Structure 1
Amino acid sequence: MIKNEKETAGQNLPYIAGITLIATLGGLLFGYDTAVISGAERSVQLYLVDSLGLSTWVHGATISSALIGCIIGGAISGAIASGIGRKKALIIAALLFFISALGSGYPEFLFFNVGEPTMGLLYMFNFYRIIGGIGVGLASAVVPVYIGEISPANMRGRLVSLNQFAIIFGMLVVYFVNWGIASGQPVEWINEVGWRRMFISEAIPAGLFGFLLFFVPETPRYLSMVDKDQEALKILTKVNGPESARKILADIKNTVEHHSGKLFSYGKVVIVIGILLSVFQQFVGINVALYYAPRIFESMGAGKDASLLQTVVMGIVNVIFTVVAIMTVDRWGRKPLLMVGSIGMAFGMFAIAGLSYFEIIGIGTLVFIIIYTASFMMSWGPIAWVLISEIFPNKIRGKAVAVAVAAQWAANFFISATYPSMMEFSGAFTYGFYGVMSVLSFLFVWKMIPETKGRSLEDMEELWRKKANLTPGEPSVATERTRA
């Protein structure tokens, strides 16, 4: 208890909690926008794909089209967050969420007639989904960075993990919303009206997020990088107390001043690790389970309402196991949780592959899906974001996170868009592939990921400095080239 009191001495915990909760609304919208398609997926297929006689590939691409925006949003997040700040980047994301919610629910606005599907309407629907995807890409990159940069080191893992909790909670909320909209309604009504209300419902949390962002500060690390040291010190003092604030600011200034900010200033290994961390988080197949959950459950024999209800059950399990990660990440460390999660995911996916191969349909499939998703939510779901927010040195964090997040969304799009055609080929092969990726993710963490538990963001710079054979205070190769 004494140790905990020492760790939190001078820290303004209510202020930290308030800022974090507002920031994590971006994570909630990330989850909401990602999962809202699960309830509307079948209706969108009937209205905009089947009615036009288009292929399964077009269906998969349409359902996953938001991920194109996510790739764009992730790729430009570094430039936006470094150019105008973390806070303003999140305000832009909130605006994009709001526009996408209204446009996806009513893509006919101004240019098309309701009930008359055309290729132009299909393009417009995808355009609005891509707009929302850009918002997701921005939020997915900037929210963890924002929380990580404003949090004290002793609680950074838990606070950044709250973003994953918000993502999963957003998914759970929209599962309830989708179920509530569809429950007791005839299929015809859902296919004409219900799916639209599912999309439009996102405008409420998007508007709230945008409004509340005007009451949070910019991060001190960004302010320091743009030479606003007094503002940075003021925020650090409010968060950490005056004594710690001065030391933290000195450490920040030291890391900012010594490097040019070139992407490979600290070598290629840290960038490769960030990319692989992102790619493995998606190649294990989690978003297949999230996007196509109702259809998977329907294939097990559940009706439409029952399949949506089962997604609610899955969402509750996801929330519970995300809480497990939040409670243990700063105690057990990042690596142990990731490795245990990889083992659980591999077990769940290989079991589902076996059941699919022998065409065994029943409660067992639901059980193994829950084992798989629970394993992901207690490990790779939150912990990958924690590592992405803290593993990169201060000066290159914006650019490096942008690269890692863009890679993550590209991997997400590939996995999600190929799922329908892979399932047409072989369900056993599809789930077996995700199981193999889970095994490879275990080996990757074991061999390449450094433990970051309890280390400050400035400590991580020193770690990569040593790996790149740079002595303290020595400029990086990129810096020398810039000076030359």
Structure 2
Amino acid sequence: MAPPRYRGAFNNGFQFSIGIGYLSASLINYGTEKIKAGWGWRISLVMAAIPASVLTLGALFLPETPNSIIQRSENPQTAKLMLQRVRGTDDVESEFDDILKASIVAKTIERPFKNIVRRKYRPQLVMSIALPFFQQVTGINVIAFYAPILFRTMGLGEEASLLSAVMTGAVGTVSTFISMLIVDKFGRRALFMAGGIQMFVSQIMVGGIMAAELGDHGGMTKGYAFLVLVLIGVYVAGFGWSWGPLGWLVPSEIFPLEIRSAGQSITVVVNFVFTFVVAQTFLAILCRFKSGIFFFFGGWVVVMTGFVYLFLPETKNVPIEKMERVWRNHWFWKRFVGQDVDQILDTKLSENFGQN
């Protein structure tokens, strides 16, 4: 529903909200840790019911999108009225025609999960798997889930470790907000590149410092611990304005209507599966790799940054209904994507909706 020129900012609001939630949870944990009776963790769990309740109640007031209305109704006039409402203008003919065209194609597809594996949808299928996978192997969940453990390993006390988690949450939230402001100006690829370089450099420096100073069983001076904390903040900031929000933004805007439900489902499943895998294997990897775990995730950052540079086209300001054009003009993906079908769609549009 977001206008193309603001789509990146609106969509990055999703990750920004996650950042606010993580920061709020860290603050609550920091506060409840001070409860000496030992039942503070119960407050932490109960507080999670508040945003869950807001989300559930808010869903009752959520309107249908114009695309959904067209898919569920034979009369496109209702969808046009909704589009005029969300755009704040009656001049929506061009965009509405694009939505109608996409709807015509989508109605010919009965099994989106079967069709998404077709050759013409190969770019979208690869991105729906690769981007959420890469987002998780940046190592961000190592910081998000185990920041207090990492900081205690570096010699910080329990209270200081929780406070450090608050700091990383604040840095991530602020950097994601910055991404909202600039993503539609500089584009997705530029932020992916800049964030990848920033994360790689900070991870290598953290790994090097911890290998030299911490060793297998030693401690770390407060000076080095502070430096590592700053570098982790740099890393979190890099993720916050690149792979954090863009890992959700790009998959949300590349799927044509006929496979959008399947593509989005695959993206979420891959993301959650590898979130689980990283969370469950991190401690074992940490015990085996020790400080080398930062080199491990840094290597993945190199791979994913190279992948984006070679295979991800720029999608800023491109209407979702016309997104297939970026694949037809890409040096690699154009061999998989068919020729322009706009003329055929125009003919079908007049046949199916001309009377309306």
Structure 2 counterpart SS, 1:268: helix
Instruction: Provide the residue aligned with 2:352 in structure 1.
Output: none
Q: Where does 1:40-51 land on structure 2 (aligned, <5 Å)?
A: none
Instruction: Provide the residue aligned with 1:264 in structure 2.
Output: 117
Is residue 335 of structure 2 the alignment partner of residue 471 of structure 1? no
Q: Give how far 1:374 is off.
A: 0.8
Instruction: Provide the residue aligned with 2:6 in structure 1.
Output: 155
Give the whole-Å Cα distance in 2 for the aligned partners of 1:241 and 1:195.
46
Instruction: Provide the residue aligned with 2:31 in structure 1.
Output: 180
Structure 1 counterpart SS, 2:236: helix
164, 169, 175: which one pairs with 2:20? 169
35, 43, 63: which one pairs with 1:217? 63
Give the whole-Å Cα distance in 2 for the aligned partners of 1:258 and 1:462.
16
Q: Where does 1:115-126 land on structure 2 (aligned, <5 Å)?
A: none
Give the whole-Å Cα distance in 2 for the aligned partners of 1:234 and 1:218.
12
CA change 1:414–1:177 in 2 (3 A) is: same
Deviations 1:418-438 (A, max 9, x none): 110011112222111100011
Instruction: Provide the residue aligned with 2:163 in structure 1.
Output: 309
Structure 1: which 5+ runs fail to align? 1-149, 477-484
Matched-pair contact (CA < 8 Å) for 2:315–2:326: no
Matched-pair contact (CA < 8 Å) for 2:67–2:99: yes
Instruction: Provide the residue aligned with 2:349 in structure 1.
Output: none
Q: Where does 1:2-401 land on structure 2 (aligned, <5 Å)?
A: 150-183=1-34, 185-186=35-36, 189-190=37-38, 193-227=39-73, 229-259=76-106, 260=109, 261=112, 262-265=115-118, 266-360=120-214, 361=220, 362-401=225-264
Q: Give how far 1:198 is off.
A: 0.8
Matched-pair contact (CA < 8 Å) for 2:314–2:326: no
Question: How many aligned positions are there?
Answer: 322
Give the whole-Å Cα distance in 1 for the aligned partners of 2:186 and 2:41.
42
After superposing on structure 2, the runs of 4+ consecutive aligned residues of structure 1 that deviate more than 4 Å are 473-476
Matched-pair contact (CA < 8 Å) for 1:284–1:435: yes
Deviates more, 1:306-315 or 1:370-379: 306-315
RMSD of aligned C-alpha atoms?
1.9
| Residue type of the alignment partner of 1:471 | D
Give the whole-Å Cα distance in 1 for the aligned partners of 2:244 and 2:290.
24
CA change 1:246–1:163 in 2 (3 A) is: same
Is residue 296 of structure 2 the alignment partner of residue 433 of structure 1? yes
Give the whole-Å Cα distance in 1 for the aligned partners of 2:282 and 2:252.
29
Give the whole-Å Cα distance in 1 for the aligned partners of 2:54 and 2:64.
19
Flag the structure with more relative contact order, 1 or 2, with Cα contacts below 8 A and sequence separation at least 6.
2
| Residue type of the alignment partner of 2:339 | L
Give the whole-Å Cα distance in 1 for the aligned partners of 2:234 and 2:207.
14
**Equivalent pairs: percent with the same residue?**
31
Structure 1 counterpart SS, 2:317: coil
Matched-pair contact (CA < 8 Å) for 1:353–1:427: no
Give the whole-Å Cα distance in 1 for the aligned partners of 2:167 and 2:275.
24
Deviations 1:203-230 (A, max 9, x none): 1111122112222201111111222523
Give the whole-Å Cα distance in 2 for the aligned partners of 1:207 and 1:270.
34
